[in-house]
Structure formats: structure tokens, C-alpha cells
A and B are shown apart, each in its own frame.
Chain A
Amino acid sequence: MKFYKLILLALVFPLVAFTGLHKYYVSLTQVDYNEKSQALQITMNVFIDDMEMAMNKTYNKSFNLFTDKEPKDSGTYFEEYLKKHFKVKLEGKEMTYKYIGRKYEGDVVYFYLEIEHVPDVKTIEIENTTLMEFFDLQKNLVKLKVKGKFDSLMLTKDNAKGVLNF
């Protein structure tokens, strides 16, 4: 059979009318500290189907992502949605980030976010509840690269934030 999410969906969220095809519930966020430009550069990728469903439900609107019918101002909604679900704290202080834009590739949408004027990164806390309100099995993987060191967080509904020290 074609393994597609609906089978899982049918078990955990039976009433979403939804068609789509992909194989697992994971988003991946890459957080890189760019020492040269003193900026925390964040790329989050999420399956378009999932994101579209979340946006349609949250804003009660048809987003038709990656089609001619996608509203011109979808970026504003993405930004608002992300600001609600993706949070970064540096040295215990919540940071605001700039929503630079989004790019579609295959069945995935990439969001580009940036926190500027970051002289150093020692303690970073990341919370990512993106899509968790709709998919119980959603896993949000966050990979960090700071000052040549790598680390990662696997965020789930029960454990949606994590702290790392560099």
C-alpha cells in the first residue's frame, strides 16, 4: 500500500476532511548562529499539506497553498501562526524574529526567520508547537549549529520545548 498519513490520521484525528500524501509527521528546523553577521538564522521546513490544513483551520479561510489561488497576503498569516507556535529565548529572554519569507519545494514549505544583533549564544531555549494542535504524533525536530558545535532537540506534544547550552 502507499503509506500515507491518512491512515494515521484516521486513528488520531478522524474528522479532518483531508487528502494528501506524505509519509510522516515531522518538521525540521535548522538554527544556525552566524557569527560573522551576528545573527541567528532559522530555516523551518514543514509539509505543505499539514501547514495548509493548520492554516485553514486556524484562520477559517482557504489558503490553497502553492496554487494560483493562494492569497497574496498569506505571508502575514504564516508570520502570525509561527509567532504563536515557534519561540526562541536567548539567555532566558524571549527574542523577536524577522519573518524573511517562505519558499515551496516539492511537498515542503520552508520558512526563513532571523534574529539579528546577537553578540553570542550561550543558553538557548526553543519551543516549537507548530501543528501539534492538529497532529498528536507531530514531531518537531530542531537542529542547532552554534560556534562549530552541533546539537538537536526532538520536540513533541508532551515535551514541546528544550534548552541547550553552548
Chain B
Amino acid sequence: MKKTFFIMFSFLLALGTMAQENDKSKYQGHTDQNKFKQMKDLLPTPNEQRTASGAPGHQYTQQKVDYVMDIRLDEKNSQIHGDEKITYHNNSKDYLEYLWLQLDQNVRAANSKTPDINSDSFNAAFNGPQSFTKSNLEKPFEGGFNIEYVKNADGSPLSYLINQTMMRINLAKPLAPGETFDFQIKWWYNINDYFNDGGRSGYEPFPDGNKCYTIAQFFPRLCVYNNVEGWQNMQFWGRSEFALEFGDYDVKITVPSDHIMEATGELQNEKEVLTAKQRKRWEEARKTYDNPVFIVTQEEAIENEKGRATDTKTWHYKANNVRDFAFATSRKYIWDAMAVNINGHNVMAVSLYPKEGNPLWEEHSTRVVANTLEEYSKLTFDYPYSKAVSVNADRQGMEYPMICFNFGRPSADGTYSERLKHGMIGVITHEVGHNFFPMIVNSDERQWTWMDEGLNSFVETLAELDYDPNFDTGNLPKDIVRYMSGDQKFLSPIMSQGDYVHQFGPNAYTKPAAGLYMLRHTIMGEELFDYAFRTYAQRWMFKHPTPADFFRTMEDASAMDLDWFWRGWFYTTDVTDIGIKEVKQYYLTDQPTEAAKKFAEQRNFNLEGRQLVYYAEAGDNFDPKNAKKASDFPFLNEYINGLSPEEKAELKEAPSYFYQVTFEKPGGLVMPIIAEISYADGTKERKTFPAQIWRYDENEINKVFKTDKEITSIVVDPDLETADVDTTNNAWPQETQQTDFEKFKNEMKN
């Protein structure tokens, strides 16, 4: 029996391969692939530390790390030496067997693995003598931390291990919840020439032997410990930035006595390091809101940089509740400052720059700092620190709490292009803006570049447009088209770890910024967006948010389901492409159309003797010349006349024109349809259909327009709000749209 069945079965199988395949595909099931599928599969399950609303939960904790440091700059040897006392507060409910610290300088150590993971080739076919010497004869730079000791508070040695850019402190016994651990590290390193060799910090050399030091990532810093990553001790390869705990800093920095310095935190010993004149000018600056006040003028700086002091001064700073510490020091610096009123609280906007930055810097830097603090405060929370400093460092653009390093140098004759000015305004806005993201809304940069760069680039865009409404921000939806329409091989979803993404800039800066601009401007509207965005910023200020906390807050505070947007824009490399496939005009007639006849026949329904208004397509056995108006149908008039006065009062004028528009969507992203309709009388009208219009059919949808006036053209996304990668299908009728090329050619002719 079994055997027979088997033979029969195989026989059938062999015979029916074709049929079966058809059947198979017919019944081939699928999982939920809808673009509006909720993000349950992508976001972590909410818990008591991070709630489903996107807010910190009632069990949310975070560690705190306090630093007391004595720093000494050895200008002659370009070395920096540090004595560091660390107090680690274990606020978690976990016992910690070890602590991890970041040794970022080790990325430049002789044994750094960063060069090893980069492939190299003979890129240049030739070298000049200078570049040949540099690439073939120079000894490798002896960078990286030299750890002199790691000790317990009582001075006894503390066991540790270094794995590249990470250092593990081996605790004798686990650190219990609520306990603190004190230890000390003594270290030094050779400062790199960032100007020629790259890097976020180091020194910039000048021909007279002077240097501007912009110093950061300069001390062993604790890694973040939380219930998302455990210890965030992913190696620093040079690109993906930092994850840091908040804490209080008490830092003394000893430098040559003729240096001028700025740093994170408040200066504690003004009297010891500043002249009476400088202190008086500071007093004035604290009361001046309209223009920067010079603390050190250009003439004074030029005079100062001629000398070489051999004695030293110690600048003492304290900063509370910051995630990092950085400073800039040189005898070349000009110094100016002005006060900014942030909701009744005085903040100082400060700039530090060598004469090479002028006249650009004295004109714009401090003013841009002030504008940035005001604009960001409006969109997020009142800037809580006492100051924000912009330091001119050529070829640089890097942020730290209260201080950042920015490029922008005019030519030697003092002239500069508009582009350079815009670049400089852009970089200052961006880096000062980083005070908000990630210095205060302290996301994990190592894991998610977009959370600080993308959010910051977005707010930067709004701040720049406020400084100058014609500013070319480069962060609008239209600006990301070039990237998004590129070869998919070189695209990564935004939700990718920073070290391996292709085209880092557009991926982690422009695309998220353009996406948020689109959310605010086109999808949510300013009112809903701004409230939700501010809620996110305020919920997570001085805390550690994750992407889910952002996505959830934006929805929770606005009553908008944005899962489709996050899923498409952040988790895929899909593109927007929406177009008009077809527009059909319909006319009114009392003669049954072919379509009506067919419809009636299928339903065994007799049209004869029925009083019906038929919608006829031109060509459907119908000549538009014979079209009727609604008022031409006696039975319709009769029906309307039979209505009560109240019912009649509720009626409106009958439309004269009827259109069915088919929108198509070759792109993978769903987006709202924005249609601009032009009428024969020259007027225009906008219609916007929410993205959910694609929920049943994501390829094609129809929409009927009934109008009083004849439609002459329809254009999808006329203001380039949705990053549509192919606008050639955006207009009906197509031939009325002159290509950009032809427009330009005609302009040139005239």
C-alpha cells in the first residue's frame, strides 16, 4: 500500500512539476512586509530603565565619575604630563569586577592597530621631495599614553591591563552598588602635530616656532557602563567618537606664563593668571550683550607672541556635570567675549584666535556662538553652562563641553571668499551646537554617529537659517538626493555602527538632518515636531539616550505613528521616487458609456429607463464636446428641487471638471504625496496626502479631483521636500516641463 502510494505520488510529482510550481507561488505565504509594520522587531523591549514612551524609567541609573587633575604642558618638548585622581561612583544595581578606561591617545601609539586595518596602495604615481621624505624617510611618531603608574587612593599599586585604546582596572573586590572607588593615574604623551598628521587635537605649528595647542582626549577617561552595552569599550579606531559619563572636574593646567588659555569650566584664579586690565575687560564683557569685548586685542597678541616666557602660570578650572574636558593654549591668542541672555540666565560667548584668523574671526565667531546658543536653546532647553568658547584651529572642527575648535582662515592679505565665511559660520554653529548633542543629551557616539551628528546637523540647519535666511546649509532634503541616488554598493543605512559605514558624512550627518527637516517641515509640522523634539532633549539632558528613546519620544509626544519613517529612512537605503503615471479626465453624460454597460451586464442589471449620471472618459465611445453640466440633467434638478430648504442649504455648487490621477511610486520609501495643481485661470492649489495613502498598495494609488476650474498641470513635490531621486516623472503633462539642461541652455543664449 505504502509503496503504491509512493510510486503514484512520484509520478504525479513528475507530471505536475509545472502546475505545482504555479500552485506553490499561488499559495506562497509571507510575513508582514508592509511599510507601516510597527517596529516591534527592531526596537529593544521597553523596561524600567527605558520606558515604552521613550522616557527614562523609574529604575534609570547612570554612573558618575569625578576627576581632579594636575596637568603640565612641556612646550619645549611638546609633551603633556598629567596626575589624575578619579572617583568612580557606582550608581547601578550591579557589582562591578573591573572598570574600563579609554586611552584615546593610543590610536597614535607606535603599536596602534589603526594603520593595520586600513588597506593601502601606491596612490600617488610620483612624490615631490617633501612628500617623498614624509612618506618614506620620517620615523613613525611616538604617540600614545605612557602610563607611569596606576595606584589605589592609599598609594598601593593597582592591577591593570591595556588592550589597545582600552585599559581595564582589576578591582581587588567587586565594587558594590552605591559604592565609590578612588584611584590615581600618572601619565604623559608626545603631542601630535594635528595640522600635518591629522587628529582631532594636538598642535598647529607656525613659521616663527609658535604653536597653538588644542588639547583633548588627553587623559585616561572612564568608559560608560549601562544596561545597553555593559561597558562601552569598543575600540577607538579613529573615526567613531566617544561615550563618556558625566562628572565634576577640578583641573589645574600649568603652561608658559605668556600663554592665554580657555578650557571647559569656570576659571577659579582669575587674579593669578589675568592682568588687572584683562579682568576689567572681562567685567565689561559680562555686561555687554550687543558686541564682543576684547580681553586681549590683536595688537597685544602680536606683541605677546614675539616673546618666549620661561616661567609658568597655573590656570585652575572647575566644571560640574560635564562629560569631558578640553583646553586651548598659546601665546598667539586674541581673546574676545560677550554676554548672551538665555531666558534670564547670563552665558558668555567667547572666542580665541590667532591673528591669522582675522578679520573673519573678530567679525563673526563670538556672534555666531551667541546666535547658536539662543537658537538651540529655543529648540531644546536653556543652555545650562556658563560659557561657550570657539577656538580658531585651522583644519579643525571638533567639540567638547563649553569649548570647541574650528577652522576658518582668510588669505594672507586678509581677504576671504563667501564660501570660506559660510564654512566658518557653519562649523562654529555645528561645534557649539554639539554642546547640546552629545555633550548634554549624551548619546553613545561610538555606537551611533547619527544620534549626535545627525540631530546636531539638523538643529544647526535651523540655527544657520536664522543667522542668514539664504544660508546654504547643505542639509535640506534636496541636498541628500545626490547621495541617496548613488550606487547602492556605497550606501549604508543610518542605523549602522560608524566604523564601517560608507560615505560617513552624508550617511551620519546630512541624511538624518535632512530626514528630521522633512519630518518637521513636511510630515509632522513645526508645532507637533518642536514639542516632541524638545521633550526628547529635556527628557534626556544629562542622561544617555539610545535611538529607541528618540524614536519613541517623537511618537509618544505627538500622537503620530512614525514607525514607517524610521524604518524606511533610518533602517534602509531605500529612496523616494513618487510620480504621476496617468491623468484621466471624466465628463458627465446621460448616455450609457461602454464601461457602464459592461458594469451593468456583469451584474445583470438593466440600464434602460434608468435616470443616471454617467462618468465618461474621453475616447470611451464619447466625444468631450457632448459633455453635460450637472444642471443639464432634468431628473437631477427635479431631485434637488424636491429637497427641503434645510437640505438644499447644505448643498454646494456642482463641480465642472472631474479627474482621476494615478500616482506611482517606483521608490522603496513611502512618503506623503504633495501635489501642486495649476488651473486654467493661472491659480494654483496644494494637496497633501499623508504617507498612509500607500498602506494597501505601495506601487500605485488613484485619487479623484473634482474642480470648478480646468486643471492644466499637476506637479508632485514642487518644492523638493521629500528627496525624490527622479523628478522626471513628477509632472503632468510631462512635455510642459522644460529640463534643467534646456533652461540653462536658453539662459546662456539670452
Query: Chain A interface (Cβ within 8 Å of chain B)?
Result: 1-4, 6-7, 10-15, 19-24, 26, 28, 32, 34, 41, 43, 45, 48-49, 64, 66-67, 100-101, 103, 106-107, 110, 112, 114, 136, 139, 141, 143, 145, 150, 152, 154, 157
A1-B397, A106-B474 given; A15·B128 CB < 8 A: yes
Q: Nearest Cβ distance between residue B425 and chain A, in whole angstroms? A: 10
**Would A41 and B409 count as touching, CB distance under 8 A?**
no
In the complex the two chains form, what is the Cα distance from A107 to B505 in whole Å? 15
Which residue on B lies nearest to A20, using beta carbons? B423
In the complex the two chains form, what is the Cα distance from A66 to B417 in whole Å? 8
A14-B131, A19-B408, A26-B486 given; A3·B453 CB < 8 A: yes
Interface window among B526-534, B585-593, B619-627, B741-749: B741-749
B700 within 8 A of A: no
Give the contacting residue for B728; candidates A10, A19, A139, A145; CB below 8 A: A145
In the complex the two chains form, what is the Cα distance from A43 to B32 in whole Å? 42
Give the contacting residue for A26; candidates B241, B431, B482, B728; CB below 8 A: B482
Residue of B508, B741, B742 ringed by the most chain A CB atoms within 10 A: B741
Give the contacting residue for B397; candidates A4, A139, A150; CB below 8 A: A4
In the complex the two chains form, what is the Cα distance from A3 to B409 in whole Å? 18
**Would A154 and B745 count as touching, CB distance under 8 A?**
no
In the complex the two chains form, what is the Cα distance from A148 to B130 in whole Å? 52
A1-B241, A28-B482, A32-B739 given; A112·B744 CB < 8 A: yes
Q: Nearest Cβ distance between residue B1 and chain A, in whole angstroms? A: 59
Ordered nearest first, which 3 A-B pairs have the shortest CB separation?
Answer: A23-B505, A2-B397, A10-B198
Residue of B196, B395, B409 ringed by the most chain A CB atoms within 10 A: B395
Which residue on A lies nearest to B131, using beta carbons? A15
**Would A101 and B748 count as touching, CB distance under 8 A?**
yes
Give the contacting residue for A101; candidates B417, B430, B739, B744; CB below 8 A: B744
Which residue on A lies nearest to B725, using beta carbons? A143
What B residues does A14 contact at CB under 8 A? 131, 134, 196-197
B579 within 8 A of A: no
Query: Chain B interface (Cβ within 8 Å of chain A)?
Result: 123-124, 128, 130-131, 134, 196-198, 200, 241, 394-395, 397-399, 406-409, 417-420, 423, 426-427, 430-431, 453, 472, 474, 479, 482-483, 485-487, 489-490, 503-506, 508-510, 726, 728, 739-742, 744-745, 748
What B residues does A21 contact at CB under 8 A? 397, 407, 423, 426-427
**Would A24 and B487 count as touching, CB distance under 8 A?**
no
In the complex the two chains form, what is the Cα distance from A3 to B507 in whole Å? 11
DSSP class of B's interface residues: helix, strand, loop or mixed? helix
What B residues does A145 contact at CB under 8 A? 728
In the complex the two chains form, what is the Cα distance from A45 to B453 in whole Å? 26
**Would A24 and B419 count as touching, CB distance under 8 A?**
no
What A residues does B742 contact at CB under 8 A? 41
In the complex the two chains form, what is the Cα distance from A14 to B419 in whole Å? 22
**Would A107 and B741 count as touching, CB distance under 8 A?**
no
A-B pairs with beta carbons under 8 Å apart, 15 shown = A1-B200, A2-B426, A7-B198, A15-B128, A19-B407, A20-B423, A21-B426, A22-B474, A26-B483, A41-B741, A49-B419, A66-B418, A107-B419, A107-B474, A112-B741
DSSP class of A's interface residues: helix, strand, loop or mixed? mixed
A14-B196, A22-B474, A28-B482 given; A3·B490 CB < 8 A: no
Q: Nearest Cβ distance between residue B552 and chain A, in whole angstroms? A: 28
What B residues does A34 contact at CB under 8 A? 739, 741
Give the contacting residue for B487; candidates A7, A11, A20, A141; CB below 8 A: A141
What B residues does A41 contact at CB under 8 A? 739, 741-742
A14-B196, A41-B741, A101-B748 given; A2·B427 CB < 8 A: yes
**Would A103 and B744 count as touching, CB distance under 8 A?**
yes
**Would B487 and A154 count as touching, CB distance under 8 A?**
yes
**Would A43 and B740 count as touching, CB distance under 8 A?**
yes
In the complex the two chains form, what is the Cα distance from A103 to B431 in whole Å? 31
What A residues does B472 contact at CB under 8 A? 106-107
Which residue on B lies nearest to A98, using beta carbons? B745
Q: Nearest Cβ distance between residue B201 and chain A, in whole angstroms? A: 10
In the complex the two chains form, what is the Cα distance from A106 to B473 in whole Å? 8
**Would B486 and A136 count as touching, CB distance under 8 A?**
no
What A residues does B509 contact at CB under 8 A? 3, 23
In the complex the two chains form, what is the Cα distance from A28 to B480 in whole Å? 13
What B residues does A114 contact at CB under 8 A? 741, 745
In the complex the two chains form, what is the Cα distance from A15 to B408 in whole Å? 18
**Would B395 and A19 count as touching, CB distance under 8 A?**
yes
Q: Nearest Cβ distance between residue A160 and chain B, in whole angstroms? A: 14
**Would B130 and A143 count as touching, CB distance under 8 A?**
no
**Would A3 and B504 count as touching, CB distance under 8 A?**
yes
A14-B134, A136-B123 given; A152·B487 CB < 8 A: yes
**Would B745 and A100 count as touching, CB distance under 8 A?**
yes
**Would A141 and B505 count as touching, CB distance under 8 A?**
no
Q: Nearest Cβ distance between residue A68 and chain B, in whole angstroms? A: 9
What B residues does A141 contact at CB under 8 A? 486-487
Q: Nearest Cβ distance between residue A107 and chain B, in whole angstroms? A: 7
What A residues does B474 contact at CB under 8 A? 22-23, 106-107
Which residue on A lies nearest to B504, using beta carbons? A3
What A residues does B128 contact at CB under 8 A? 15
Which residue on A lies nearest to B510, using beta carbons? A23
What A residues does B487 contact at CB under 8 A? 141, 152, 154
Which residue on A lies nearest to B409, using beta carbons? A19
What A residues does B134 contact at CB under 8 A? 14-15
A100-B748, A145-B728 given; A24·B483 CB < 8 A: yes
In the complex the two chains form, what is the Cα distance from A34 to B740 in whole Å? 12
Q: Nearest Cβ distance between residue A5 and chain B, in whole angstroms? A: 8
In the complex the two chains form, what is the Cα distance from A106 to B426 in whole Å? 13
Q: Nearest Cβ distance between residue B215 and chain A, in whole angstroms? A: 15
**Would A154 and B739 count as touching, CB distance under 8 A?**
no
Q: Nearest Cβ distance between residue A55 and chain B, in whole angstroms? A: 14
Q: Nearest Cβ distance between residue B241 and chain A, in whole angstroms? A: 7
What B residues does A150 contact at CB under 8 A? 726
Q: Nearest Cβ distance between residue A110 and chain B, in whole angstroms? A: 8
In the complex the two chains form, what is the Cα distance from A43 to B728 in whole Å? 15
What A residues does B726 contact at CB under 8 A? 150
A1-B397, A3-B509 given; A19·B420 CB < 8 A: yes
**Would A2 and B482 count as touching, CB distance under 8 A?**
no
Which residue on A lies nearest to B122, using beta carbons? A136
In the complex the two chains form, what is the Cα distance from A24 to B745 in whole Å? 29
**Would B418 and A67 count as touching, CB distance under 8 A?**
yes
**Would B430 and A32 count as touching, CB distance under 8 A?**
no
In the complex the two chains form, what is the Cα distance from A161 to B419 in whole Å? 32
In the complex the two chains form, what is the Cα distance from A117 to B98 in whole Å? 75
**Would B123 and A139 count as touching, CB distance under 8 A?**
no
What A residues does B490 contact at CB under 8 A? 139, 154
What B residues does A28 contact at CB under 8 A? 482, 486
**Would A32 and B417 count as touching, CB distance under 8 A?**
no
A12-B123, A15-B134 given; A2·B419 CB < 8 A: no
What A residues does B200 contact at CB under 8 A? 1
Question: In the complex, given contacts A1-B241, A11-B198, what are 10 additional A-B residue pairs having Cβ atoms less than 8 angstroms apart?
Answer: A2-B427, A3-B509, A19-B407, A20-B423, A23-B504, A41-B741, A41-B742, A67-B417, A100-B748, A101-B748
Q: Nearest Cβ distance between residue B5 and chain A, in whole angstroms? A: 53
In the complex the two chains form, what is the Cα distance from A1 to B409 in whole Å? 18
What A residues does B395 contact at CB under 8 A? 6, 10, 19
What A residues does B398 contact at CB under 8 A? 1-2
In the complex the two chains form, what is the Cα distance from A64 to B415 in whole Å? 11
